[in-house]
Structure 1
Amino acid sequence: MINLQTYKNELTDNGFAVINNIFSEEEIKNISEVILNIDTSKDTFRKSEDLFAIRQFLKEIPEVKDLIFNENLRTIIREIFGENYFVIKSIYFDKPEKSNWYVAYHQDLTISVDKKLQLENFGPWTTKQNQFAVQPPLYILENIFTIRIHLDDTDENNGALKVIPKSHAKGIYRPETIDWTIETETMCSIEKGGIMLMKPLLLHGSNRTTNGKKRRVIHIEFSDRELPEQLQWSERMN
């Protein structure tokens, strides 16, 4: 395995890092086959011309877990995040070849939890398909890491993420207040089988697909923080 300290430093300093060659061609093929053979009629699946998404991905398709958490990925989680991190959220995104799906700059400010209740410093709340999401206190958001696994080559022509380096260190940063005289934009091209590590407070977005190539991504979030005892992570998985 490559020396991970460089990537750990990049993630800390810039809020993101790209590591290619984490999954082999064969591993990507096996993961893709499992996804291809699932029943897509469930409530947690969203299908349109522009996007196919599976919420609670690891819960809905448990047979994919062993394929995703290969030795490379487990080493990255342990050495870059730390020993005590666990899964708190997972989504599968498929931007089809003709997708016009465009995502404006934003931070990922909510977490998925098991119920809605009144808690100090937790809010606002949203509910989608009986799934509860809430904006937690900043210290919880600052401790979350995201891994995005790419099942296709991705660049600026098929919806690669564009990010604003170091924006993760500025707390809640409203996109409408971005000062482009001091901020720069970076496009995160990633090879098939590569991953992107990022902090959820990093400002990020993506453009429409223009090259007729699909972009499939598995998005998994991790934390080592427990929530107040009356609230649980909805997808907690060690």
Structure 2
Amino acid sequence: MDFSVDGFTIVEEIYSEKEIAAIEYAIDRANSDRSTFRKTAGLFAIRQFLKEIPAVAPLIFTGRLKNLITTCFGNDYFVVKSIYFDKPELSNWFVAWHQDLTISVDKKLDISGYGPWTVKHEQFAVQPPLEILADNFTIRIHLDDADEGNGALKVVPGSHLRGICRPDTIDWDSQTAVSCDVKAGGVMVMRPLLMHASGRTTNSKPRKVIHIEFSRAKLADGLSWSESQSF
């Protein structure tokens, strides 16, 4: 699999069972009363995950993960966003085809090339210039086995090379979706412009994922990443 061509890759056995258990223990101990924690019958999510649970950072950024990042992308990248998703056994929600087109920033400013803007859970988000999105990457850390039965991510290989495009422009006669099955302890690496989706849970198995976005871009003057941190 060629990451530059396909826009994604899967690397297994980044974390051991013991390391996964330590991460889950740190999450379970966290105070979930804050607004960045969202818990319903069908979803448990923590936004600004690394900021909310700083004790989990050294458990996540192990030597193996750091080596993967530097080998693939060099030393210039830093964390710009992190979310924890827990899709319970009976969850029936799905995510439609989309690209990840926004970044999290500290404030809203009228700047050429940045927009449209949104505010979600007291967090400013904006679509930045295309070159920033094209250069960013995401690592999805799997704490459970994931396949189509419990909503593993589906992607359209190579779709990140088309820039920003609408899901309804996908030509399914020539394009094929791929299910990104990942074992617990493995990671999926992807470009945010890769078209992706996920289905409902049908096999009564959980799917817990830590989603971390990375960039090396300097934003326009006056604007800062809201979750920027080194690792």
Alignment TM class, shorter chain as reference: over 0.9
- Counterpart among 31, 35, 39 of residue 47 in structure 1: 39
RMSD after superposition: 0.7
> Which residue of structure 1 lines up, in the alignment, with residue 125 of structure 2?
133
Q: CA deviation at 1:11?
A: 1.6
- Counterpart among 3, 7, 15 of residue 15 in structure 1: 7
Is 1:232 matched up with 2:217? Answer: no
Is 1:73 matched up with 2:73? Answer: no
> Which residue of structure 1 lines up, in the alignment, with residue 157 of structure 2?
165
Q: Distance in 2 between the 1:173 and 1:28 partners?
A: 36
> Which residue of structure 1 lines up, in the alignment, with residue 85 of structure 2?
93
- Counterpart among 132, 145, 148 of residue 156 in structure 1: 148
Q: Distance in 2 between the 1:45 and 1:213 partners?
A: 22
The residue type equivalent to 1:182 in the other structure is S
> Which residue of structure 2 lines up, in the alignment, with residue 82 of structure 1?
74
What secondary structure does 2:193 align onto? coil
Unpaired segments ≥5 residues, structure 2: none
Q: Distance in 1 between the 2:61 and 2:130 partners?
A: 28
Q: Distance in 2 between the 1:166 and 1:35 partners?
A: 34
Unpaired segments ≥5 residues, structure 1: 1-6
> Which residue of structure 1 lines up, in the alignment, with residue 166 of structure 2?
174
Is 1:63 matched up with 2:55? Answer: yes
> Which residue of structure 1 lines up, in the alignment, with residue 182 of structure 2?
190
Is 1:214 matched up with 2:215? Answer: no
Q: CA deviation at 1:171?
A: 0.3
Q: Percent identity?
A: 58
Q: TM-score, normalised by structure 2?
A: 0.98
Q: Distance in 2 between the 1:98 and 1:11 partners?
A: 33
Q: Distance in 2 between the 1:214 and 1:67 partners?
A: 21
Deviating above 4 A after TM superposition, structure 1's stretches of 4 or more consecutive aligned residues are: none
Number of positions where the alignment pairs a residue of Structure 1 with one of Structure 2:
230
Is 1:146 matched up with 2:156? Answer: no
Q: Distance in 1 between the 2:165 and 2:187 partners?
A: 25
> Cα deviations across residues 79-120 of structure 1 (Å, max 9, x unaligned)?
101110000000000000000110010000000000011010
The residue type equivalent to 1:138 in the other structure is L
Q: Distance in 2 between the 1:17 and 1:41 partners?
A: 35
- Counterpart among 112, 116, 127 of residue 104 in structure 2: 112
> Cα deviations across residues 206-229 of structure 1 (Å, max 9, x unaligned)?
000011110000000001111012
Is 1:205 matched up with 2:201? Answer: no
> Cα deviations across residues 181-235 of structure 1 (Å, max 9, x unaligned)?
1111100100000000000000000000011110000000001111012000000
- Whether the 8 Å CA contact 1:162–1:187 is kept in 2: the answer is yes
